[in-house]
């Protein structure tokens, strides 16, 4: 099969992924093989390619927003059949036995494996996964529209859930891209007001179009206190800024996988039991609940599609913010 393989980390502009012919994987036991139809590009793919995150194995196929059809199954599979539509997200496997897994926090499992990091991902014609970690997909949403939801959507939903906001609350969204757009739509559906901070005029208009209660840049604060906030850019200076706008007992969730140094200079901004928590991966429950909600509300997804052979150039465009929404690679 054809696959884009990362063997040596380097700046994405130097095109470190190499297109190769590699053996197609064959499923065993509870594994299913998915014939990839669409695979979204995530910023984390770039972090791995460039060395911000260490490679989980020496020769790696990236891509963790994968959708397609099952074309082969292992002899112990019971929940999927050949021809079923299925997706793969960031969490690829967890042990199910450690204290974290047993209390529903499999995202913190010390033995967990992640798609396109520890295990080969979806920038290939075929990919394997245990049926327990594959997501069944409905029939009424195109593969290329679901792919961006498999990471940005699910991770955003978990960040949103970590805020603890409820109907009638006010939520700050700091930075506005695809992930924030999904959070805003989920929040609006659940009766939570969204206050969006972004310098980009196009993103300001996008947030207004999706129903944000308030939209502005970082120079102006809304004339109200917020119950929670989610910081999306890897900018540590936004942490104290977001804390300063919270009500007592409010929470700021940090969504990036990396972040510049954080400094809180004024204790008053974190006093009164204001807290900061980081987002760490996802659970299957997050994925199932979000994909169900996305289908119920007809979630709007902004994406551009490209051919498989264009991947290297599209990764560069993604890094430089030149894609409208999420870039999705479609197989021939």
DSSP codes joined into one string, 135-203: EE--SSS-HHHHGGGGTHHHHHHHHHHHHT--TT-EEEEES-SHHHHHHHHHHHHTT-EEEEE-S-HHH
pLDDT of 126? 98
Residue 322 DSSP label:
-
Does 193 score more than 80 pLDDT?
Answer: yes
Q: Quick check: 62 pLDDT over 90?
A: yes
| Residue 27 confidence (pLDDT) above 90 | yes
Q: How far apart are the C-alpha atoms of 127 and 238, rounded to whole Å?
A: 38
Residue 49 in this model has a pLDDT that exceeds 90:
yes
* 220, pLDDT greater than 80: yes
Give the pLDDT mean for 202-218: 95
Predicted pLDDT at 171? 98
pLDDT category, 215, cuts 50, 70, 90?
A: very high
332, pLDDT greater than 80 = no
Query: pLDDT value at position 32?
Result: 98
In what helix (H) or strand (E) does residue 326 lie, and over which residues does it extend?
Answer: strand 326-330
Q: Is the pLDDT of residue 230 over 90?
A: yes
pLDDT in tens, 294-310: 999 999 999 999 999 99
pLDDT at 75 over 80: yes
Q: Which residue has the tokens 């970690």?
A: 133
Domains of the chain: 2-150+302-330 (3.90.180.10), 154-278 (3.40.50.720)
Mean pLDDT of 97-112: 96
- pLDDT tier at 258 (50, 70, 90 boundaries)? confident
Token pair in block for residue 221: 């604060």
Band (pLDDT 50/70/90 cuts) for residue 64 is very high
Contact residues for 54 (Cβ-Cβ < 8 A; gap 6+):
none
Mean pLDDT of 55-70: 94
Q: Render pLDDT for 78-99 as a digit per residue (tens, 0 to 9).
A: 999 999 999 999 999 999 999 9
Predicted local distance difference test score (pLDDT) of residue 56? 83
Judge whether residue 180 has pLDDT over 80.
yes
What is the CA 56 to chain-centroid distance, rounded?
A: 19
Predicted local confidence at residue 139, as pLDDT = 81
pLDDT reading at 140 higher than 80: no
pLDDT-based confidence at residue 53 (cuts at 50, 70, 90): confident
């Amino acid at each position: 099969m054809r696959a884009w393989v990362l063997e040596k980390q380097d700046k994405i502009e130097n095109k470190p992924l190499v297109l190769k012919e590699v053996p197609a994987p064959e499923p065993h036991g509870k594994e299913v093989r998915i014939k990839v139809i669409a695979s979204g590009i995530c910023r984390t793919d770039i972090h791995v390619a460039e060395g911000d995150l260490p490679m989980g194995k020496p020769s790696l196929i990236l891509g963790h927003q994968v959708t397609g059809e099952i074309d082969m199954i292992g002899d112990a599979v019971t929940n999927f059949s050949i021809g079923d539509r299925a997706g793969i997200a960031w969490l690829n496997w967890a042990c199910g036995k450690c204290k974290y897994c047993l209390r529903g926090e499999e995202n913190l499992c010390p033995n967990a494996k992640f798609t396109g990091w520890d295990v080969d991902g979806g920038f290939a014609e075929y990919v394997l996964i245990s049926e327990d970690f594959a997501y069944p997909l409905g029939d009424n949403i195109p593969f290329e529209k679901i792919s961006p939801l498999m990471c940005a959507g699910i991770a955003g939903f978990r960040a949103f859930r970590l805020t603890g906001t409820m109907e009638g609350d006010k939520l700050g969204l700091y930075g506005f891209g695809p992930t924030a757009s999904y959070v805003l739509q989920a929040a609006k559906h659940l009766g939570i007001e969204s206050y969006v901070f972004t310098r980009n005029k196009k993103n300001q208009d996008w947030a207004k179009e999706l129903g944000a209660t308030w939209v502005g840049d970082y120079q102006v604060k809304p004339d109200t206190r917020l119950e929670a906030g989610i910081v999306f850019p890897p900018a540590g200076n936004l942490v104290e800024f977001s804390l300063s706008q919270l009500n007592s007992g409010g929470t700021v969730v940090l969504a990036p996988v990396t972040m510049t140094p954080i400094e809180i200079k004024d204790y008053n901004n974190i006093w009164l039991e204001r807290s900061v928590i980081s987002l760490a991966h996802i659970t299957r429950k997050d994925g199932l609940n979000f994909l169900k909600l996305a289908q119920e509300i007809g979630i709007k997804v902004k994406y551009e599609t490209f051919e498989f052979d264009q991947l290297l150039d599209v990764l560069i465009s993604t890094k430089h913010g030149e894609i409208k929404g999420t870039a999705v690679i479609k197989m021939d």
